[in-house]
Structure 1
C-alpha cells in the first residue's frame, strides 16, 4: 500500500487528538520549544507537515513555517487551522519535493522518516533537506530506536502497548529491515477498528551515515525533546544534524 493511500480522509480525520497522545501538552510543548531554539530566528521547513500538529504552534511562536506533504486530506485538515499565507504547503514527497526559499531548519518529527520504505529514499530525504538549508542550517529528526532486541529467535511480533481498549504491536521482517505497525481499537462490541502502516526502521549509526552522505555533521543527540541523555536503553532519540558554515568542509559525524 502506498503512503498516499494510507493517509486518506479517514486517517486524517482520526489523526488529531487534541490534548491527548501526540497532542498532549507534555509531548507537544517541549517539541515546539526545542524547534524554536533550533530555528534560531530563521525560517523552518517541516517534511510531512500533516495536519499541522507542530507547525501551527511553532508558527504561533513566531517561527515562519513552510510544509511539504503528500496527503491532500491531511493538508485539507491543516487548512481548517491556518491558511496558505500563514503556513504554505507544497504537495509532494518529502524525499524529492522542493519548497521555495532557503531555511535555517528542516525537521521531521514522530518517526516520519521511517515512512520512506527504502534506504535509497531515506538518503534522498537527507539530501533534500540539505538542498533547502542555508550554510550552517540544521536538520532535526525524531525517531524511535528499533526494538529488535525484544524478538526471541523465531518470533516476528512485539506488543508495545496493551490497554483495555487498545493494542499496538509491530511485526518485523529483519531481513528487509521492515516493520508494520498494527493498531487495534476495541469497544464493548465484538468488532475492532484496525490501522496498519509500514515502515523501514533505521539504527542511529545508519542514520548518521545517511547524514554524512548528504554533507551533514551530527551536532547533538538526546533521548527526547527535553534533552534527556541518550543511552543504550533509550527507546527514541532526537538527532540534530548541521551543514558546515561557508568555507568549512563536512567531516565525520559528531560525537555521541
Structure 2
C-alpha cells in the first residue's frame, strides 16, 4: 500500500487529538521549545508536515516554517489552521521533493522516517535534508528504538499498547527490518471495531548515523526525548541532531 493511500481522508479527519496523546502539552511543548532553539533566527523546513501538529505552534513562536507533505487530505486539515502564506507547503515525497530556499533547520518527527520502507529511500531522505540546509545547518530526527527484546522467540507479533477502547499490535519481519502497526479502536456503544494499519521500516541508531555520514552529516547530539534526557541502552526513543559542515 502506498503512503498516500494510508494517510487518506479518514485518517486525516481523525488524526488530531487536541490536548491528548501526541498533542498533549507535555509532549508538544518540549518538542516546539527544542526546535525553536535549534532553528535560531533562520527558517525551518518540516518533512511530512501532516496536519501541522508541530509546525503551527512553531510558527506561532516566530519561526518561519515551510513544509513538505505527500498526503493531500492531511494538508487540507493543515489549511484549516494556517494558510499558504503563513506556512507554505510543497506537495511531494520527503525523500525527493524540493522546497525553495535554504534553511537552518530541517526536522522529521514522530517516527516518520520509518514510513519510508527501504534503506535507499531513507538515505535519500538524509540527502534531501542536506540539500536544503545552509552550511552548519541541522537535521533533527525523532525516532523509536526497535523494541525487539519484547518479541518472544518463535513469534512475530507483540502488543505495544492496550487501553480501554484501543489495542495496538506490531507484527515484525526481522529479515527485512519491516513492521506493521495494527491499530484496533473499539466503540463501546456499537460494539464495532475500526482497524487500520501502517507499515514501517525500523532503523537502529547506528544505521541512522551511517545514513547521516553518507549525506555529509555528523551526529551532534542524541537524547532520549525532547527535554534532553540521557540516551541509554534502555531508551525507547531518541531525538538525534545531525549537522552539516560549516
Aligned position for 1:222? 223
Aligned position for 1:95? 95
Aligned position for 2:86? 86
CA distance in 2, matches of 1:56, 1:190: 36
Q: Deviations over 1:215-255 (max 9, x none)?
A: 0000000000010000000000000000010xxxxxxxxxx
The alignment's TM-score, normalised by the length of structure 1, stands at 0.95
| Pairwise CA distance, 1:152 | 2.0
Aligned position for 1:212? 213
| Pairwise CA distance, 1:120 | 0.1
| Pairwise CA distance, 1:210 | 0.1
Aligned position for 2:46? 46
Matched length: 245
Aligned position for 1:162? 162
Aligned position for 2:70? 70
CA distance in 2, matches of 1:81, 1:190: 34
1:26 is aligned to 2:51: no
| Pairwise CA distance, 1:198 | 0.1
| Pairwise CA distance, 1:191 | 1.7
| Pairwise CA distance, 1:181 | 0.4
Where in structure 1 are there 5+ consecutive unaligned residues?
Answer: 246-256
Please give the residue correspondences for 1:76-225 in structure 2 after superposition, counting only pairs within 5 Å: 76-188=76-188, 189-225=190-226
Aligned position for 1:250? none
Q: Deviations over 1:91-121 (max 9, x none)?
A: 0000000000000000000000000000000
CA distance in 1, matches of 2:155, 2:226: 32
Aligned position for 1:253? none
| Pairwise CA distance, 1:187 | 1.9
| Pairwise CA distance, 1:190 | 3.2
CA distance in 1, matches of 2:11, 2:152: 33
RMSD of aligned Cα (Å): 0.6
CA distance in 2, matches of 1:94, 1:136: 21
Q: Deviations over 1:42-77 (max 9, x none)?
A: 000000000000000000000000000000001111
| Farther off after superposition, 180-189 or 35-44 | 180-189
The alignment's TM-score, normalised by the length of structure 2, stands at 0.99
Aligned position for 1:249? none
CA distance in 2, matches of 1:190, 1:38: 47
